[in-house]
Amino acid sequence: MPTFAANLTMMFNEWSFLDRFDAAADAGFAAVEYLFPYEASPEAIAERLTRNKLQQALFNLPPGDWAAGERGIAALPGRFDELKSDVERALNYAAATGVKRLHLMAGLADPSDAEAASCYRRSVAYTAARLAENGIDLLIEPINGRNMPGYFLNHFGAAERLITDLGLPNLKLQFDVYHRQILHGDVTMALRRLLPITGHIQVASVPSRSEPDGEELNYPYLFGEIDRLDYRGFVGCEYIPRDRTLDGLDWFKPFARR
């Protein structure tokens, strides 16, 4: 069955950030992911990973000024030098944590704007090439406009075309099942078709974005399908618990490491 990574930005919020590593390991997770590591030191995160025998599945490159509402800068004109600096910052954390995949957020921009599209393509190509020097995959993720209005990369077809056009072996799709269902539906057929370019999968229920144990999607079937497709990567649990994290892990207990 898939190797599940607890998303420590959304899960285990009953603990401080570094203590969430311990809590996730105690709950039986073998891997973790989160949006951003940059408020903790690389050394502190590496120590928690080692202590708990956890794998680092994924994190995002710096997103610009998150507190001010930025959601990435890759598609924003005039930010390329900042992006290059951000890539180096992320690589410091990658070296400490051993992560093999990083996600680049596009930012808030009109997908039909030619300048934004050119900036995004340049940013993706540069970042993928720089990460390839360190044996790391670059992921791009379509995000639905209900959760992130105005996000530049808001269509799976656009992500697929860019990955195909650039033809970079370490450029992969981040297939978030929650976003896919809201944007397009047809999750199973999309998984079957896009798995060759998929580098990471994420899950949550739809529409509440909580535990993957009900609502619109049949997750037992989808988990079985992921196995049938022989997917060898991580499945990130990017969901918001309905109550305390530990109270909502019945869905996960059959998959917990022993």
Hey, which residues are catalytic here? Answer: 141, 238
DSSP state of 214: S
Contact partners, residue 21, CB within 8 Å, separation at least 6: 8, 32, 45, 48, 49, 51, 52, 54
**55: part of which helix (H) or strand (E)?**
strand 55-60
Question: If you write DSSP's letter for every residue of 99-137 in order, what string do you get?
Answer: --EEE--B-B--TT-HHHHHHHHHHHHHHHHHHHTTT-E
Give Cα separations from 40 to 19, 63, 65, 137 (angstroms). 12, 16, 17, 23
By the 8 A CB rule, do 45 and 93 touch?
yes
List, in sequence order, every residue forming a beta bridge with 3; answer none if it has no partner: 234
Bridge-based pairing of strands 198-203 and 234-237 is parallel
